[in-house]
Amino acid sequence: MAQIVPVILSGGVGSRLWPTSRAHYPKQLLPLVSEKTMLQETALRVADSALFAAPLIVSNDDHRFIIASQMQEAGIDPLAHILEPLGRNTAPAAAVAAHFAAEQKGPETVLLILPADHHIGDLAAFRQAVEEGAKLAAEGSLVTFGIVPSAAETGYGYIRRGEELQSAGAYRVERFVEKPDAETAASYLADGGYYWNSGIFMFRADRILSEMEAFCPEIADKAKAALAAAGRDLDFIRLDETAFAASPSDSIDYAVMEHTSHAAVVPADMRWNDIGSWSALWEIGEKDESGNVHLGDVIDTGSRNTYVRAETGLVATLGVEDLVIVASGDAVMVAARDKVQDVKKIVETLKAENRTEHEAHNRVYRPWGYYECLTQGERHQVKHLHVYPGGALSLQLHHHRAEHWVVVSGRARVTLGEETSVLEANESTYIPVNTKHRLENPYEEPLSIIEVQSGAYLGEDDIVRFDDVYGRADETKAAE
C-alpha cells in the first residue's frame, strides 16, 4: 500500500474554549490534554513513516510561524504548509490539498483529512480504522469514520449506516443526520445503527476532485486557481487571495458527502473527542474522588464534579458543584458545566463591545519569540520581550513612541541608526522617536528584555518596516 498523506486542517478559532483559546492563539495550538499541543498530538499520531507520508498542513496566515515552530519542536517536517488568506470552511481546504497531492504524489494518492484539534485516546484503534479506511479509499470510496456512541449526545451530527460492504466492518452511508434533540439522540443510541460524525475523512485525490466537480464545481475550480497562482513565502505556500476568496464557503459534509453515492463509513471506537467545550475536557480529564479535575495551582475544599484550570495564579474553590472555572491571565470565566456550549456568546459580547480579550492573551507570540504587556497607562507601556536564539525583530521605526530597552538576561545585538552594538545583562539603550532600530539575538541563549515605551500613541500599528527576515515587511498591522 502506498503511503497515506495526512492533511491537517488548522483553521479554527475555538471560541467555546475561551478564555484559554483566542483568535490569535486558538485551541489547536494549546496543550489542553497533555504537555503537547493539540496540533502536535495530531501530527505525531500520523508520524509512522511506514504507513504515512509527511503531513500536509493547511492553516490560516496568522498562525504560520507558531505552527512551524511547533512542528519543529515535535520533530515533524511537513510535506508542505499551505496558507489560506481567509477561512472558507473544510471543503475548499480539502480541494486545495487534493490538487496539491495529485500534482506532487500522483492523482491516486490517498488523503486522510484530520482536524487539528481532536483528541484520540486509543491510537491502536485509530490506526486499525485508518488501515481499513485506506483499503476502501483506494478502491474509490469516500470514507468517513463513525464514532461508536457512548451516550445520547446532542452536540454531534450522526451517520446512519446502510448495507455492509465486502470489507468486513464497513458500511455504505445511508444518510447524514443533523445534531438531534435529546429524545432523538436516545433513539439513535438504542437503534445501534448510528454513529457520531467525527469529521475525519479519507479518499483518493482524484476521487474527491471528481465528486467536487459534480456537486460543488466552483469550490474545485477556485481551489485549483488559488493553488496555481500561489506564491512561495519562505517555507510556506501562500494561496492566491482573489481566487480563494471567490470560492463558496462549505464543509466537506455538506458540499460532497451528503450527495455522493460512494460514501462509506468505518465504525471506530477509539476514545475520540472533538474537545468542543470545557465539559469535554472535564469528561476526559483525570478526576479526584469527588469528580473534580484540577489543573495548575488549585486549592479546593468540598467541591464536586468541577473543572478548574488555573493558568496564572492561585484559584481556590469552596463547596461548589458542577462548575467550570478557568483563570487565564487577563480573564476569569466561571460557568455552569451544562452551559459551557454557550461560552461563544461571551466572545460575541466582547466583539460587540470592541474589546480585545477574545483576540489575544497577554503573551503574544511572534516568529522571533513573544512579548507580554506588564503594565500600561495613558502615555506609557512596559513589556517583557523574549527573543529565541537566532531570532531577530524587523528593522523598523516608530513615529509616535520612544523606547528604552534593558537586558535582563542573554545578550542583545542592537542596531540604532547606522551603528550596531552588543548589550550584556543589566545594560540598556534608548531609541528616540523616528529612529531606525533593530533587536537581534544571534547567540545560543534566549534573550530577555524589558521594554519601556513612552509617547502619545502606543498602538501596535505604529511601525514602519524596512527589512524583516520573516517576510512581514508589507504587514502594516503586525507587531514588532
Residue 24: is it exposed, middle or buried by C-beta count within 10 angstroms (0-12/13-18/19+)? middle
Write out the three cell numbers for 335. Answer: 460557568
DSSP conformational letter for 426: T
Write out the three cell numbers for 329. Answer: 491571565
Cα(204)–Cα(191) distance, rounded to whole angstroms? 32
Buried b (16+ CB within 10 A) or exposed e, 307-326: bbbbbeeebebeebebbbbb
- Pinpoint the alpha helices (H) of 81-228: 90-105, 123-138, 182-191, 205-215, 217-228
Q: Are 362 and 30 in contact (CB under 8 A)?
A: no
Identify the pLDDT of residue 476: 43
Tell me how far the alpha carbon of residue 416 is from its chain's centroid: 37
Count of CB atoms within 10 A of residue 184's CB?
A: 16
Write out the three cell numbers for 246. Answer: 471567490
Going by C-alpha positions, the residue among 188, 179, 133, 139 that lies closest to residue 161 is 188
Cell 494549546 locates to 30
Structural class in CATH, domain 363-467: mainly beta
Cα(278)–Cα(83) distance, rounded to whole angstroms? 29
Identify the pLDDT of residue 12: 82
Residues of the chain with CATH 3.90.550.10: 5-273
Q: Which residues pair with 421 in a beta bridge?
A: 414
Identify the pLDDT of residue 107: 97
pLDDT tens series, the chain, 480 aa: 689 999 999 988 889 999 999 998 999 999 999 999 999 999 999 998 899 999 999 999 989 999 999 999 999 999 999 999 999 999 999 999 999 999 999 999 999 999 999 999 999 999 999 999 999 999 999 999 999 999 999 989 999 999 999 766 899 999 999 999 999 999 999 999 999 999 999 999 999 999 999 999 999 999 999 999 999 988 899 999 999 999 999 999 999 999 999 999 999 999 999 999 999 999 999 999 999 999 999 999 999 999 999 998 999 999 999 999 999 988 999 999 999 989 999 999 999 999 989 998 888 888 999 999 999 898 999 999 999 999 999 999 999 999 999 999 999 999 999 999 999 999 999 999 999 999 999 999 999 999 999 999 998 889 999 999 888 754 444 445
φ/ψ bin of 378: left (φ > 0), alpha (ψ from -120 to 50), beta (otherwise): alpha
Residues of the chain with CATH 2.60.120.10: 363-467
Cα(418)–Cα(224) distance, rounded to whole angstroms? 47
Identify the pLDDT of residue 168: 67
**Start-to-end CA span in the chain (Å):** 48
Identify the pLDDT of residue 234: 84
CB neighbour list of residue 471: distance below 8 Å, 6 or more residues apart = 233, 234
Cα(242)–Cα(244) distance, rounded to whole angstroms? 6
Host H or E run for residue 344: helix 343-352
CATH number for the domain whose boundaries are 5-273: 3.90.550.10
Identify the pLDDT of residue 166: 78
Secondary structure string (H, E, C) spanning 264-311: EEEEECCCEECCCCHHHHHHHCCCCCCCCEEEEEEEEECCECCEEEEE
